[in-house]
Amino acid sequence: MKAVYWINAALMGLVFAFAPIARDAAADTLRVVKKGTSSVLSVPMNRAVVVESDEPFAELSIANPSIADISSLSDRTIYVLGKAPGLTTLTLLDAAGRLITNVEVRVAADVTEFKERLRQILPNEKIEVRTANDGIVLSGTVSSKSRMQRALDLAERYAPERVSNLMSVGGVQQVMLKVRFAEMKRSVSKSLGVSWGVSGGSPRGPTLGTGTLNNLGSLTNNLAGNIPVTNENTGALVVGLNAGATQINLLLEALEQKGVVRTLAEPNLSALSGQEATFLAGGEYPIPVSQDNGVTTIEYKPFGVEMKFIPRVVDEDIINLEMLASVSAIDSSITIEANGLSINGFTTRKTSTTVEMRDGESFAIAGLIQDDFFDNASQLPWIGDVPVLGALFRSANYQRAQTELVIIVTAHLVTPTRGEALALPTDRVKPPSEEGLFLRGQVARTARGAAAEVARQDFSGSYGYVME
């Protein structure tokens, strides 16, 4: 009996010793058709997979039928249908009720078609597609935000509101905007006027004349409204004649004025793609504002060179610009009196637009050609229409003003550079020494060293940010 007992114990030990090996071998007896053997079975949602077992089975069971549905086609073939995203277990038993294997069934969204469409639409982008529960996870690096958005829009078609974005945008995403305001104003004014007066010898004598006559008694008063004053009536000539008791005074005015005004501003500003940047070089003008309760508050209106823009890098070198640019100045010729305060007006040139261009390209976003013409003639009725002689009784005035304005925008994709490569205007000069100031009259001295060498360089090339 003891011998039989020891023999049975030895056999049982062998069974338990080789049981893990048997289970590991059984785990590899299940294979996906045309895909090889695997202990993990991946099934797309709403699609079916047929698998075969190397060993005949007598019973099948699925842990969670709501995730996957199964049916047997034969004693070696299983039909698995993915119903909902999730993880469950498929168990196979033989005719004796022994466990053949447990297979992990993983049901996820079907991304096979999505991957194919993504490769067709964005063939050169390194985008990785994974499934997570019932959603889609996108990762990798794309070349622009517009292409990232295309991938997200496509993923939404396959997993609405279940798309996780782990993608990053590569390439240069900083934009430097260079705006050039160029304005020319030309004005021409010409006038030719004749004023005359005739008076008798006595204070009560008859008086005749043209122009603005206040008193026709003497040369001083005869043409009092038109007598030339210092720095006025340029080109005026007064002639006085006496014919016995009669005094004749004549004022001739010939004036021509020409003027040219040139305005140029070139603000530069850099910003990250999608972020707003603002620039103001000028000041703020205080304007009193009366409130409903009778209290007067002060509001400040900015003036000078002002710029706001939002750049968006929509592709590798295509930049979308949403911008506002203006140049304004205080105009002392326009004045409003309110509550004892004098408020000046403003002259403003402003543009607001959205354009799209490539790196390094320029766009003329605004232009103005304005031509103002004015002429005026005043004369005595009838006699002023007489040829030749009528010119003595007629005054003419002619004015013309022309304005040309152009605003040009240039956009660059830029990357930062090292700080020591940049030069400041203050690097060019240093405060003078006492000897130089008091003995030589120097108000500044030239800087020396590496900073001075950089400062003396010509700024016509690349400086500041590095343009690609």
Residue 180's nearest CA partner among 263, 287, 59, 279 is 263
pLDDT of residue 202: 54
Q: Are residues 64 and 123 in the same domain?
A: no
Q: Give me 172's structure tokens.
A: 């240069």
Q: Which residue has the tokens 């090996």?
A: 21
pLDDT of residue 212: 43
Q: Are residues 43 and 75 in the same domain?
A: yes
Q: Are 281 and 267 in contact (CB under 8 A)?
A: yes
Tell me if 271 is assigned to some domain: yes
CB-side exposure of 74: number of CA atoms within 13 Å? 9
pLDDT of residue 20: 45
Please state the domain count of the chain. 5
- Characterise 456 by phi-psi region: left (phi > 0), alpha (psi -120 to 50), beta (else): alpha
Whether the pTM exceeds 0.75: the reply is no
CB atoms within 10 A of CB 37: 13
Distance CA 316, CA 173 (A): 9
Q: Are residues 147 and 63 in the same domain?
A: no
Domain that holds residue 276: 177-182+260-377+395-413
Tell me if 9 is assigned to some domain: no
Q: Are residues 212 and 230 in the same domain?
A: yes
Q: Give me 301's structure tokens.
A: 């209106």
SS (H, E, C) 235-254: CEEEEEEEECCEEEEEEEEE
Listed as ranges, residues in the chain with pLDDT below 50 are: 1-11, 14-28, 31-37, 204-205, 212-231, 465-468
CA 373 to chain centre: 38
Beta-bridged to residue 429, according to DSSP, are 446
Q: Give me 340's structure tokens.
A: 């004892």
pLDDT of residue 322: 92
Q: Are residues 247 and 267 in the same domain?
A: no
Tell me if 46 is assigned to some domain: yes
Q: Are 151 and 144 in contact (CB under 8 A)?
A: no
Q: Are residues 288 and 401 in the same domain?
A: yes
pLDDT of residue 386: 76
pLDDT of residue 336: 85
Q: Are residues 162 and 288 in the same domain?
A: no
* Residues 6 or more apart whose Cβ sits within 8 Å of residue 90: 41, 60, 61, 62, 63, 68, 70, 78, 80, 102, 103, 104, 105
CB atoms within 10 A of CB 211: 20
Residue 466's nearest CA partner among 426, 397, 400, 414 is 414
CB atoms within 10 A of CB 195: 24
Q: Are residues 197 and 152 in the same domain?
A: no
pLDDT of residue 309: 92
Q: Are residues 267 and 321 in the same domain?
A: yes
